[in-house]
Amino acid sequence: SPPATPPAASPPAASPVAASAATAMLLGGAVARHCHACAQPRPLRAKHCRACGRCVCDFDHHCPWINNCVGARNRSSFYLFISLLLADAAAVAALSADALLEPSPHPAPDERPTTLLWLALAVAAPASLLLARFWLHRTRNALANLTTNERLNRRRYAHFRSPNGALVNPFDRGAARNCIAFLCPAKPRTASLLSAA
């Protein structure tokens, strides 16, 4: 006769960690975690912004200039904004320097235009250097298909580690495809649940 099977044991009580893991689900091919602040699933690459009080898909950073998060839906617009600011500051600096260096055929009766040109140059030149650095960081992130948050915190995120522990970029599809994905993002599948900024 077959051996008797032992009675089934009752399942152990769920711990908070197990309950949190149980709320994880598959969304858009990426494992979601649970956002305790929003009380909803949070897909991979999304982050809860404390300043905005919401989860943002492909969270890049919270920008005080625009008083909003930069994320999946507005990062290409933000990149254009930074590009135009840089072009404007560089043009003001270059035109001011050119006007100051070029001898005037008619001497000015007062020094006010020269003072304004020096002031414009003094503001625009450092601003264009700072904006150029910021623009280069945005460009580097677009070429690598990374967000600023991921670049700064990738050592903390498990999906940036290979099985042997080396840092990898699982989102890199080559510079051209990365730029297309950056400039023409697909609508997030969880748009009804999360803000994309």
Bridge-partner residues for 41, per DSSP?
Answer: 34
Q: Using the predicted structure, report yes or no on whether residue 190 has a pLDDT greater than 70.
A: no
What confidence category does residue 12 fall into, taking pLDDT thresholds of 50, 70 and 90? very low
**How many whole angstroms separate alpha carbon 170 and alpha carbon 162?**
9
Active-site annotation, residues: 63
Residue 55: alpha-carbon gap to chain centroid: 13
What confidence category does residue 1 fall into, taking pLDDT thresholds of 50, 70 and 90? low
Q: Using the predicted structure, report yes or no on whether residue 50 has a pLDDT greater than 60.
A: yes
Q: Using the predicted structure, report yes or no on whether residue 112 has a pLDDT greater than 90.
A: no
DSSP result, 138-170: HHHHHHHT--HHHHHHTTT-GGGB-TTS-B--T
User: Which of 159, 83, 165, 77 minimizes the C-alpha distance to 128?
Assistant: 83
What confidence category does residue 168 fall into, taking pLDDT thresholds of 50, 70 and 90? very high
